[in-house]
Amino acid sequence: MLRKRWPVMSQVSIEAAGRRTRVLVADDDADVCSLISSVFRGKCVVTVAHDAEHALSIMEQEAPFDVIISDYMLPGVSGLEFIARVRAEPTWSKTPIIMISGHSNSLNRRALTAGANAFLSKPFTLDQLRNVVTEALSQIVRS
């Protein structure tokens, strides 16, 4: 099955009370990116990258993100390698990362070992996604 390609970068920016939460999504599936963007519309600035290299490039050029959502299957570099590279950079090392994947839950342990804060299997519900992101962000506030 061919995946729709997402434009190189897309932002959903809607004003909300106070500072807007910044979310980076690394996924080459346009439908998944649209879904994630729609979940946070009105609350966050969502930036989308179509692969890990592009996500890393965006991270180097822009203000820090509050949370990263990454697919496991990315073109070029896997989501696990992407997480390892994020964790190796002191500026980003504490940024919550949520890995998503259509693979079985067996990937869950590997994602968490690589440094993800949470793992969601596709298909996931919008409520599951909201809850995982809210929990990841609340961990920052507590630390």
Query: Would 65 be classed as within a structural domain?
Result: yes
The number of distinct structural domains making up the chain is 1
Which stretches of the chain score pLDDT less than 70?
1-18, 105, 140-143
CATH number where 18 lies: 3.40.50.2300
Domain membership flag for residue 3: no
Q: Count other C-beta atoms under 10 Å from residue 59's C-beta.
A: 22
pLDDT at 141: 56
Report if residue 4 sits inside a domain.
Answer: no
pLDDT value of residue 119: 94
Q: How far apart (Å, rounded) are the C-alpha atoms in residues 82 and 19?
A: 27
Q: Can you give the residue range of the structural domain that contains 86? A: 9-142
* Whole-number pLDDT of residue 43: 83
With respect to residue 43, please indicate whether it lies within any of the assigned structural domains.
yes
For the whole prediction, is pTM greater than 0.75? yes
In a domain, 19, yes or no: yes
**CB-based contact 131:21 (threshold 8 Å):** no
Please, what is the Cα angle at 17 between 15 and 128, to 5 degrees? 85
Question: Which is nearest to 97 in space by CA: 1, 26, 15?
Answer: 26
Residues 6+ apart with CB under 8 A from 55: 24, 26, 49, 68, 70, 82
- Is 2 among the domain residues? no
Q: What is the pLDDT of residues 67-88, one digit of tens each?
A: 999 999 999 999 999 999 999 9
Sort residue 76 into left (φ over 0), alpha (ψ -120 to 50) or beta: left
Within-domain flag for 1: no
Task: Tell me the CA distances in angstroms from 66 to 5, 46, 69, 106, one per residue in order.
Answer: 25, 10, 10, 27
What pLDDT is attached to residue 18?
57
Going from the C-alpha of 121 to that of each of 86, 90, 91, 102, 143, the distances in angstroms are: 21, 28, 28, 6, 27
pLDDT for position 72:
94
- Tell me if 105 is assigned to some domain: yes
The two structure tokens encoding residue 128 = 């599951």
